[in-house]
């Protein structure tokens, strides 16, 4: 019965695709399967963003890229005591579509996300932090974040109650700070306009560069693995150069294998110098007498369209 045979093949193929998508997005399997089923034939495993969407994701990720992996206001010691583990950039999963991106932010990191990504204006010098023009529309079970008058949408998977609790935390320690997304929900403020005109270029990497940053964000779970990762950070160094850094967790090779995968990966070029993370390193005695593994890898450089390069930096996991 060739028809049954084909149906079985289709089913196992779609289960395989959903499993693979989950590796990049962190989505629950049933969600990954639903998203893929709703796609048109021939769509890539991880859809690319349209230009305005990629620009919004870049503006947001470059501000959030060095996020703190902790609860709002928590000290380093407290954080270490709790041995809390967070997903890449605090996103438990992302759901990429051409004209939107859903991010499921870990509730403990939500206040930090609001503080860094949504705009706020300092009382003294009128300096704008966060993405100018960004506004939030709170619904019962999710919050839509968009730039007034521009394309693109980030859907934060948080309930209205979770969102308002996080907002209260952010506002409680910020006497005198103005939050334009609260005070001026439907128009850019003068401060935001002048900030965007003077410094907007800092957070915009051009069409191809934005595609790349968006592509990384849409695949951020490719940076995750079974071993504990202390943090992941991404930032733009001089001009068109991206640094992606993490401590512990997956090796360069694992990340490269995923990012170079023809079905789920990005249009990047394999590094000319191979990774040596997985070559066993001898223990050496460091200055204070502690035994550490000698670092012979640290950074792997890849080239990518639209930027001068990406440096994948892996800091060695803390060891006793």
Q: Is 275 in the site for Zn ion (CB under 5 A)?
A: yes
Query: Of 120, 119, 118, 122, which is closest to residue 110 (Cα–Cα)?
Result: 118
Is the Cβ of residue 151 or residue 257 nearer to Zn ion in the bound state?
Answer: 257
Span interacting with Zn ion, options 91-99, 133-141, 185-193, 273-281, rule CB under 5 A? 273-281
Please say whether the beta carbons of 292 and 300 come within 8 A.
Answer: no
Smallest separation, CB 223 to Zn ion (Å)? 14
Smallest separation, CB 88 to Zn ion (Å)? 18
Query: Of 304, 286, 193, which is closest to residue 241 (Cα–Cα)?
Result: 304
Smallest separation, CB 278 to Zn ion (Å)? 7
Q: Which of 147, 155, 218, 252 binds Zn ion (CB under 5 A)?
A: 252
Is the Cβ of residue 71 or residue 258 nearer to Zn ion in the bound state?
Answer: 258
Span interacting with Zn ion, options 54-62, 147-155, 210-218, 275-283, rule CB under 5 A? 275-283
Distance CA 272, CA 308 (A): 15
Number of residues that bind Zn ion (CB under 5 A): 4
Distance CA 179, CA 306 (A): 34
Please say whether the beta carbons of 85 and 228 come within 8 A.
Answer: yes
Read off φ and ψ for residue 7, nearest 5 degrees: -65, -45
Distance CA 151, CA 133 (A): 12
Q: Is 223 in the site for Zn ion (CB under 5 A)?
A: no
Site string for Zn ion, 77-96 (x = CB under 5 A): --------------------
What is the SS3 assignment for 99? Answer: coil
Query: Of 78, 26, 81, 70, which is closest to residue 258 (Cα–Cα)?
Result: 26
Q: Is 277 in the site for Zn ion (CB under 5 A)?
A: yes
Is the Cβ of residue 282 or residue 289 nearer to Zn ion in the bound state?
Answer: 282
Span interacting with Zn ion, options 76-84, 92-100, 152-160, 268-276, rule CB under 5 A? 268-276
Is the Cβ of residue 114 or residue 277 nearer to Zn ion in the bound state?
Answer: 277
DSSP per residue over 88-147, as a string? GGGEEEEEEETTEEEEEE-GGGHHHHHHHHS-EE-TTT--EES-TTEEEEE-SS-EEEEE
Span interacting with Zn ion, options 112-120, 160-168, 213-221, 251-259, rule CB under 5 A? 251-259
Question: Which residues, 282 to 311, sit near Zn ion by CB under 5 A?
Answer: 297
Q: Which two tokens stand for residue 212?
A: 């790349």
Q: Which residue has tokens 């209205």? A: 160
Per CB under 5 A, residues contacting Zn ion are: 252, 275, 277, 297
């Amino acid at each position: 019965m060739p028809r049954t045979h084909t149906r079985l093949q289709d089913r196992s193929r779609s289960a395989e695709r959903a499993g693979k998508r989950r590796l990049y997005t962190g989505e629950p399997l049933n969600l990954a399967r639903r998203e893929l089923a709703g796609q048109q034939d021939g769509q890539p495993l991880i859809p690319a963003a349209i230009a305005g969407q990629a620009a919004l994701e870049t503006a947001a990720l470059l501000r959030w890229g060095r996020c703190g992996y902790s609860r709002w206001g928590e000290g380093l010691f407290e954080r270490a005591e709790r041995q809390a583990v967070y997903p890449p950039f605090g996103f438990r999963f992302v759901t990429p579509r051409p004209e939107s991106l859903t991010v499921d932010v870990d509730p403990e990191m939500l206040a930090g996300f609001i503080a860094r990504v949504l705009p706020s204006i300092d009382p003294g010098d009128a300096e704008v932090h966060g993405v100018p023009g960004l506004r939030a529309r709170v619904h019962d079970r999710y919050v839509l974040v968009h730039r007034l008058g521009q394309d693109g949408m980030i859907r934060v998977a948080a309930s209205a109650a979770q969102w308002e609790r996080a907002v209260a935390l952010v506002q409680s320690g910020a006497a005198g700070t103005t939050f334009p997304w609260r005070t001026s929900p439907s128009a850019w403020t003068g401060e935001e306009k002048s900030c965007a005109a003077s410094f907007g270029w800092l957070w915009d990497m051009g069409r191809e560069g934005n595609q790349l940053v968006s592509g990384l964000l849409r695949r951020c779970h490719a940076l995750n693995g079974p071993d504990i990762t202390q943090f992941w950070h991404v930032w733009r160094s001089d001009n068109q150069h991206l640094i992606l850094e993490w401590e512990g967790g997956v090796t360069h090779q694992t990340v490269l294998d995923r990012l170079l995968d023809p079905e789920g990966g990005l249009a990047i070029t394999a590094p000319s110098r191979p990774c040596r993370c997985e070559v066993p390193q001898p223990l050496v005695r460091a200055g204070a007498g502690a035994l550490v593994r000698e670092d012979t890898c640290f950074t792997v450089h890849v080239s990518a369209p639209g930027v001068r390069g990406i440096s994948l930096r892996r800091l060695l996991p803390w060891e006793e």
